[in-house]
Every structure is written in structure tokens, then in C-alpha cells.
A and B are shown apart, each in its own frame.
Chain A
Amino acid sequence: MITESMSKQLKAIVGDKYFRTDPEALITHSYDGTPMLQALPDGVIYPETTAQVSEIMKIASANRIPIVTRGSGSNLCGGTTPLQGGIVMVMHRMNQIIEVDMENLTATVQPGVITGHFSKHIEELGLFYPPDPSSMKISTIGGNIAECSGGLRGLKYGTTKDYVLGLTAVLPSGAVIHTGGKLAKDVAGYDLTKLLVGSEGTLAVITEAILKLIPPPKTKKTMVAMYKDIYGAARTVSKIIQQHIIPATLEILDNPTIRVVDDFAKIGLPLDMAAILIIEQDGEPEMVERDIEAIYTICREEQADRLEIAQTREEAEKLLTARRSAFTALARLRPTTILEDATVPRSKIAEMILRTNTIAIKYNVNIATFGHAGDGNLHPTATTDARDSEEVHRVEEAFAEIFEAAIALGGTITGEHGVGSVKAPYLEWKVGEAGIEVMKGIKAAFDPHHILNPGKMFAKETRKRLVIHHG
């Protein structure tokens, strides 16, 4: 509960307008992009500076008030839903690009900067910030750092963690720490920068970040390959990498996704294909030509049924339509869309997709899979209706089995969405009991009173592990 005197103190820090406890504010900060999850906070606060965040944290600590930091609230793991009430801290007002350092190729930004705006700004300066989560038009850099967001370019360019060089963060005590810097090398102590990236708002509040920029690729070329045999598609992926070609994008759509996408976008996709690969290479023009030619040969060797190389940017955009509309097409099928991100070593993607299809049939649920084949990060997506509790239960059972299958294949329960509350019951499956204990120790070192994003990452109870017989 927030007392009258706490409310006064908080308003004194940020101004009357920026600490709210009215119903409108509470309702509209009770959710994020995660289906079937809603919990009301007790207040919403909009800080403008690191100093304000520090003052807020002191009050929250003294009164043991939960603080849930939030950018645009587009995450899919329940990461910013205030499950235990408390105060939602919205970082939108801290939205300045403080500096772009052309000598060190770094940018210093506040956490509330919209990723898409930032990318565009950087491109206008002739540089490149590769992380491109699908939500980048609205998600914030702070949110991307907290969740360690990935995107389509992960295989070649890595994910958010590979572009964060330094952070300013406020601990629950109110103390401000600075990690890393504009440095390519820095081994002074534990790597707290990397630790905070992907910590999901459970360790500290990030208030500033130094990001790495790189020179942009000169050209890019796009192609599409369609397969009647999903193993042919999978072998193509492995072979491309084996031949030391690292494409900028290497995406896969499975048959259920192809059907849904074609029904939605009417682009004449062949419905008898087991999989479609969408491949993009970028870089120096000669290298791009050479790579695309080599990939084309591999696709043919692996019995691709249809092959298309885009000759112009417009043609490329057309080829990318199938991948771009996958989420939209699926989201329109049923009221509730559950998008997961089970990830396996890339050599295992065919097996993972086929297992997912089998699991969907077993539980009689609709699951289509698309995703980033190049880095093994798949998006099995269930379409259902939150109001049908019986079906939702079956979906949950199916996902538990999908997570189990991913781990059995040497993969993980989440590749880029984060654990949050949704996957907390499965975390131990991946990291083990000892792993959980170490993580809890780290949590306690940063946040002894458990006020930062409580109820996330660590579940009260780990879900009972399924016993699966692999034939």
C-alpha cells in the first residue's frame, strides 16, 4: 500500500503530474504484451533523471514497495506486469539520445528511447545498430536491454548483449553504479554489464546505456527456397554454415504457417511445401553475389522445389512479405495468440519443428512454427481463446512438452523473450537446481529486500518435469 506521506514524497521528486494513483493510470499499467496476464499496480511513476530514480528507490526500499520498471510494455513473458502490485516505473520520459561518438563508434542513450527511432537516427549518420526485435517500432532500448532482445539479424550480428558496452544503473538502495564504458576491452572485475543485460528488471534500474555501433553493410540480396521435405530445408541451413557462409537473415516458416500466411496475404504460396527458407546476405557487393550463388547451389542440392532470387529491392520486399505477415496472419485466427521462443542448436531445427507439430496434434491445439532458423530460435505460436479454459490448459500442457523437447535437444526454454513470470516455472529445467541457487544469490546481492520486479524469473515452485518417451 502507498501511504499519503509516501505519495507526497514521490510527488516531491517527480512533480505532481508524474506520480499517479488514479484508476486510469492503474488500469493502463496492469498488463504488457503477454496474453492472459493482468495485475493492478498501486501507483505509476514517470522519472526524468537518474537522480530521481535514485531518490525513488530509496523510498521504495525503506517501505518495501515493489518497483516494476517498464518501457513500452511490449514484452511477451509477463516481464512488466506488476504481479505483486507496487509501483510501475515508466521510463518513457528518459528518451534522449545523449551522444553519438563518431570517433569511438558508440552511442550514449537513455532507456526510454524507442529502438526504431534510434536505429533510424544511427542509419542517418551512416552507421548501423543491428538488433532488430519485431517490436522495434515501439519497444525501448531499456526494455531491449532488460530482456536481451534478439531479432532477425541474430545469427550474423548477435543480439542486444553484443552491443551494450556500458551501463548506468540504480540499485534498490539508491546507489548508482557505472559499468563498462566506451571500451572494447575491460576486464576490471566481474562483467556487470553483461549480467545486467537480460536481468529483466530484477537487479537494478538501467538509466543510461553506452551502445556499440558498426559500419553498415554496403548491399544486400534476398532469396527464397521452398521445400517439400523439411529435412532438406534443415540440411540447407546446416550446410550453408558448414561452408562458412553466415547469412544476415535465415528464416524458416513451417507448413501450418505457410497455410495461414497464404490465406491471409493471398500471395500464392504453394500449400504442399513443408517449409520455406527466406535468406538474406549483406556486405560487400562481390561477397554478397558469391554467397548468394553458393547458397543457391546448396538449395538445389538439397532438392529445393522452388527457388527465387530477388533482382530488385521491391522484389526482395515481396519475398519478405511471407515472413513479415506470419505473426499478423496468426494473430487474426483466434482471439488469443501465444508466441513462444524455444531455441535449439541450429542442427536440430527440423527435429524441433516436427516434434512441435506432433505435440500440437497430441494435445489437439493449433500451433504453427516460424522463426530464425539460422540461430535455432523458433517461434512455436499457439492460437487459442483465453476464455476457453479447457483449451488453454491443453495449450499450456503442449508448451510444457515443447520446452522439454527443446531442452532434450540441447536447447533452451527461451531464446529472446525472457523468463518473466510465464517461463519461471521452467527455468530450473534449463539451469538446474545449483544454477537457480547461484542466480538467487546474485539476486540477493543486488536486491536484498526483493523489491525489484518480484515474482519474475524465480517461481515459487518449479513445474514437475514431464516424462517423455522418445521413440
Chain B
Amino acid sequence: MASPTGKFGKPAIEHSNPLARTLLEKLDYDQLTNCMRCGFCLPACPTFHETGMEPASPRGRIAMMKAAVDGLMVPDQQFKDQMNLCLGCRACEPACPADVKYGQLIEQTKEAIAEHAHYTAPVKILRNTLFKKVFPKRGSLKLLGGTLALYQKSGLKKMARASGMMRLFPKHLAEMESIMPPASSKGVVERLGTFYPAQGEKVGTAAMFRGCIMDVMFAGTNVNTVELLSAAGFDVHIPDAQVCCGALHAHSGEINDARALAKANIEVFKKLDIDYIVSNAGGCGALLVEYDHLLMQDDHYREDAKWFAERVIDVSTLLVAKGNPLRFAEQAAGQEEVKVTYQDSCHLRNVMKGAHAPRVLMKKVANTEYIEMVDADRCCGSAGIYNVVQPEMAGDILAHKMEHANNTQASYMLTSNPGCLLQMKLGIEKHQPQQTMRAMHLVDFLRERMISSK
């Protein structure tokens, strides 16, 4: 996926190490050269913050990538571990004066590592099931949603917990299980259909990207997103043939699967006459907005990918920038204000540059006081499947996060991404703030307080 290299090309080295060979082939050597090692990325990096060790920083990781390609270092297990320790939050990118595309470099590196990986049998099965069977296929997801719902509703969940069955799983997986929301096989399309018209004066036409985890775990949020958009004056299409965005694949090095999913989505959305493709999950949106980069080398899809990427926008950004003003319930006399705080979605902030709009919206809601959390822009440790594969680092990061969360004394912790939302729920359950705190998607909070004109 490397961009056409400049006039200097790549070093002509015949690596004997197979991973080094693949890294040389995949890594964008110009980007590696663009890092001038000023160190400005270090304070932005969560893993550097936790360890204080240069190898766990973006500058350190880029130096190792370049050293591996240049033949200064053999990409050994330690190299792979260090690359996998990266959350992929991309907080280093806005901090970089030279505009180094770190996100692309780490993805190219993970892709190379995945090609040479020898996964243990269970991990292989898990990766295969998730990446090739569950996420790409709508049917499997619904089935998964249905199964989860059955598991949760039938009392099996209670039984599993009571029987201590969950203790058989690693501790962090058991912890995750305990905060999973009720899943459902009924997604947004089953609830609202494939078209939902604008209320009041129409200001544009949007298509909703429903996401796979979102639509199974947080289908209600998807419904609320459509209703908010409609109330702000957007016609909303919800094409049913859309598939997973491919972000989890791309972040795990399964780049070709990600590309296949991107093409499928482009085909679906291209058929609609739309101004915007709306995402309510920073993690999905950040990949959608980079489809043009993902398919840069594909002559057939390059133009359409650009068309797609240009339309991608987060729901909060669209509401603030183009929507008719939403009406929120007035504060009733004698009512006490609720304190609200916000955890940035790294990908919404660092890739989609959408940190401003959520704050604008929260401040508009009557009867709330917005408190900015210290280090709200620092990753919460969720990072896709990071909290499952790197539980220790994720746990350390979450512990620091919850200290800051507690200091806000907020009763609502809002986020803009399902992974962050689950992580915040986990944090609240594990670290028990002094006051009652509820983690919620920003969209749900807004919808709850909006006055419907219907």
C-alpha cells in the first residue's frame, strides 16, 4: 500500500529475514524518512506515557521500522510485541510537525507481521471466525446478536455468572462480559426501514453507516442517530446491503479483507444520491474517511473511493455544521443541573478531526453542566480489540483515565464510539466512582433530551 516512492526509492537490500523483506516491500519509505525525530509525538503517546520508555513511543517505533528495513535490526519477537503494544489511537499524528502518516506506517507494519504470523490454534480460529466469517457477513452478525440476546435474556447469562463459568475465561474477558449491553438481532433497518424522511425544512440527504458492532450491541443508538438527523432536517437512507467497515481488519493487519469490504460498501452507497455518509462510531468513521487511501492503488475503485471518503462525516460534526438547530427540553424550575463529561474517541478526534462538535452539542443541552475531563483526548485503552489482546497496558491506561473521570464528579460519561463506550462502562464498574456515573453514547444522551416535533 506504499505510495509511489520519490526519486530515491527504497534501499536495495536483499534481506534474509522474511519479515524484514515484507516490511521493506510494504512500508512507505518516504514516510519513514519524513520522521525528523524531534520527539514532539512522545507526550501524546499513551504507551510512552505509561512506560516512559522510548521504544514504546511513535518516534521509537518508526526508528525500529526504519532500522528493520535498513537492515540495522532484525525484526524479532520484541519488535513485533512493541508494534502490537501500539493502540493505534493516532494521537501522535496531530502532534507531528512533519505530518508523518504514522497510522499508515503502523498498519503496513501490522500487515507485514500478520503475513508471517504463526498464531496458536485457538487464536487462528478466533481471528478466522471474526475477520472472515462474523464481521463481513451481515447474517452471521445478526445470528451472533440473536445468540447473544438469547444468552443474555434466557437466564443463561445469570446462570453462567452464578455458576462461575465466566471464571474459566481470562479475567479481562470475564470483566468485559459483565458490561456487555443487551444484544439484539433487530438492527436499525428492521426497526426503521431503509428510508427515514427529514422533519421540517430539509437541509440535505444523508446515508447512515450503521456499523456491525453498533447495529448488534447498540441498535438503539443507530435508531437515535437517524431520529436526530431527521429532526435536524436530513433525509436518511439506511442501505441494508452495507457491510462492516473493515477497521478491525485493517488494524489487525488483514488489509486485503479490509479492501474487499471497502469495495462492497462503495458499491452500495454509490447507488444513492446522497450528500453525506454518516457514522456514529469514530472507529468506523476513521477508516471510512480513509477509503481513498486504502484503495489508492486500485485503478478501478480509486475515483469512487474518493467520492465515498469525501462524504464521510461524524453525526455530531454534521449536526453542528449543517443541521437545523435541535430543540432540547427546557430546565424545569428547581431542577438540579446534571454534570456531564466526555471521553474523546481517538479516531474521531485525531483522524476525523471531530473533537469540537460533540462539545458544542453537549453545551447546548439545557439542565446540564459540561465539565472537561483532564486528558479527555488521551486514549481510554479500548482501541478496537486492544483491551482483549493487551489487557495489562489497557488496564493501566483505564485506571489513570478513571482517576480523571472521578475528578469531574460527572454523572454522565459520554463518548462517540462503541469501543470507548464499553471501556468506560468497564472503567465505571471496576473503579466505582464516588458518585453514580453512567456511560452513554452522545447520540443517546442528545436524543433523550431532545423535544420531538412528532
| Residues of chain A having any CB pair with chain B under 8 Å | 22-25, 27-35, 40, 72-74, 90, 92-93, 95, 114, 116, 135, 137-139, 327-328, 331-332, 335-337, 385-388
Contacts and interface: CB of A to CB of B under 8 A. Distances in A.
A27 B64 contact: yes
Contact of B97 (A25, A90, A93, A332): A332
A43 to B, nearest CB: 14
A27 B43 CA distance: 20
Interface stretch (B66-74, B182-190, B363-371): B66-74
B82 A24 contact: yes
B78 A327 contact: no
B28 to A, nearest CB: 12
B392 to A, nearest CB: 15
Pairs A-B, 6 closest by C-beta atoms: A28-B60, A74-B39, A328-B97, A387-B8, A28-B54, A331-B97
A93 B60 CA distance: 18
Interface of B: 6, 8, 30, 33-34, 36-40, 42-43, 52, 54-55, 57, 59-60, 63-64, 67, 72-74, 76, 78-79, 82, 97-99
A27 B67 contact: yes
Contacts of B64: 24, 27-28
A386 B331 CA distance: 62
Contacts of B40: 74, 135, 137-138
Nearest to A327: B97
Nearest to A27: B67
A328 B8 CA distance: 24
Nearest to A29: B54
A135 B36 CA distance: 14
Given A74-B38, A90-B54, A114-B43, A27 B72 contact: yes
21 contacts: A22-B78, A23-B73, A23-B78, A23-B79, A24-B78, A27-B72, A28-B57, A28-B63, A29-B54, A32-B39, A33-B39, A90-B54, A92-B52, A93-B52, A114-B43, A137-B43, A138-B42, A331-B98, A335-B30, A337-B36, A385-B6
A35 B43 contact: no
Given A138-B43, A337-B98, A27 B36 contact: no
Contact of B36 (A33, A73, A92): A33
Contacts of A24: 55, 64, 73, 78-79, 82
Nearest to A337: B36
A335 B60 CA distance: 18
Given A28-B60, A387-B8, 11 more contacts: A23-B73, A24-B82, A28-B55, A28-B59, A33-B39, A74-B38, A74-B39, A93-B52, A137-B43, A335-B36, A335-B98
B76 A73 contact: no
A332 B36 contact: no
B97 A23 contact: no
Main secondary structure of the interface of A (DSSP, over half): loop
Contacts of B98: 328, 331-332, 335, 337
A27 B63 CA distance: 7
Contacts of B42: 72, 138
Contacts of A22: 78
A386 B63 contact: no
Nearest to B62: A28
Contacts of A328: 97-98
Contacts of B60: 28
A73 B34 CA distance: 18
A95 B78 CA distance: 27
Q: Tell which of B39, B78, B82 has the most Cβ of chain A within 10 Å.
A: B39
Contact of B63 (A31, A90, A116): A31
B76 A23 contact: yes
Contacts of A332: 97-99
Contacts of B6: 385
A27 B60 CA distance: 8
A267 B54 CA distance: 36
A22 B73 CA distance: 10
Contacts of A30: 63
Contacts of A138: 39-40, 42-43
Contacts of A31: 37, 63
Q: Tell which of B6, B34, B52, B97 has the most Cβ of chain A within 10 Å.
A: B97
Contact of B33 (A32, A90, A135, A335): A335
A72 B67 contact: no
A257 to B, nearest CB: 14
B39 A72 contact: yes
B39 A73 contact: yes
A327 B34 CA distance: 14
B38 A135 contact: yes
Contacts of A35: 36-37
A203 B67 CA distance: 32
A138 B37 CA distance: 12
A32 B37 contact: yes
Contact of A33 (B37, B43, B54, B99): B37
Nearest to A137: B43
B200 to A, nearest CB: 33
B106 to A, nearest CB: 15
Nearest to B32: A335
Contacts of B34: 335
Contacts of B78: 22-24
B264 to A, nearest CB: 35
Nearest to A92: B52
B425 to A, nearest CB: 31
Contacts of B38: 33, 74, 135, 331
Contacts of B67: 27
Nearest to A88: B54
A336 B98 CA distance: 9
Contacts of B76: 23
Nearest to B34: A335
B3 to A, nearest CB: 13
A34 B37 CA distance: 7
A90 B55 CA distance: 13
Contacts of B39: 32-33, 72-74, 135, 138-139
A428 B72 CA distance: 35
Given A28-B60, A29-B54, A385-B8, A23 B74 contact: yes
